[in-house]
Amino acid sequence: MSLAVIEPPYLPPTPAPSPPPAVAITPCDPWPRPYFLSDGLRRVAPYHYTYNTNCKQRWRGRGILEIFQDEFRDRPVEYYQEAIASGAIQLNGKPVPAPTTTVKNGDIISHTLHRHEPPVTGTPIGVVHEDNDMLVIDKPAGVPVHPAGRYNYNSVIEILRAERGHQWNPLPCNRLDRLTSGVMFIAKHRAAADELTKQIMGRTVRKEYIARVKGEFPEGDLVCEQPILQISPKLGLNRVRANGKEARTVFRRLAYFPSPMPDKEGYSIVRALPLTGRTHQIRVHLQFLGHPITNDPIYSNRSVFGSSLGRASATDSDDEDIITRLSRMGKDEVADAVAYHDEMVEDYNKKKAEKMTGEKCDICGTELYSDPGGHELGIYLHARRYACSEGKWGYETDMPPWAVGPKGEVVGIPPADDLVAKVEELKLGIEEGKAKEKVAPVP
pLDDT by residue for the chain (443 residues), tens digit each?
A: 566 666 666 666 656 655 544 445 566 788 899 999 999 999 999 998 888 888 999 999 999 999 999 888 777 899 899 999 999 999 998 999 999 999 999 899 999 888 899 999 999 999 999 999 999 999 999 999 999 888 999 999 999 999 999 999 999 999 899 999 999 999 999 999 999 999 988 889 999 999 999 999 999 899 999 999 999 887 889 999 999 999 999 999 999 999 988 888 999 999 999 999 899 999 999 999 999 999 998 999 988 898 888 898 888 788 888 888 888 775 444 444 443 444 444 443 444 556 778 898 898 888 888 888 877 889 999 999 999 988 899 999 999 999 999 999 999 888 767 777 777 777 666 655 554 444 444 33
316 belongs to the catalytic site: no
Separation of alpha carbons 442 and 76, rounded Å? 57
Residue 261, sorted as left (phi over 0), alpha (psi -120 to 50) or beta, turns out to be beta
Contacts of 183 (CB under 8 A, 6+ apart): 128, 136, 137, 138, 139, 174, 383, 384, 385, 386, 395, 396, 397
pLDDT of residue 222: 95
pLDDT of residue 394: 95
pLDDT of residue 439: 40
Burial class (CB in 10 A: 0-12, 13-18, 19+), 101: middle
User: Which of 177, 296, 342, 371 is an active site residue?
Assistant: 177
pLDDT of residue 342: 44
Separation of alpha carbons 33 and 312, rounded Å? 46
pLDDT of residue 375: 74
> Residues 208, 384: contact at Cβ < 8 Å?
yes
End-to-end CA distance of the chain: 109
> Residues 226, 298: contact at Cβ < 8 Å?
no
- pTM for the whole thing? 0.79
Q: Decide the pairing of beta strands 120-121 and 41-44.
A: antiparallel
pLDDT of residue 21: 43
Q: Using alpha carbons only, what angle is made at residue 138 by residues 137 and 144, rounded to the nearest 5 degrees? A: 90
Q: Helices 77-86 and 64-71 meet at what angle, rounded to 10?
A: 140
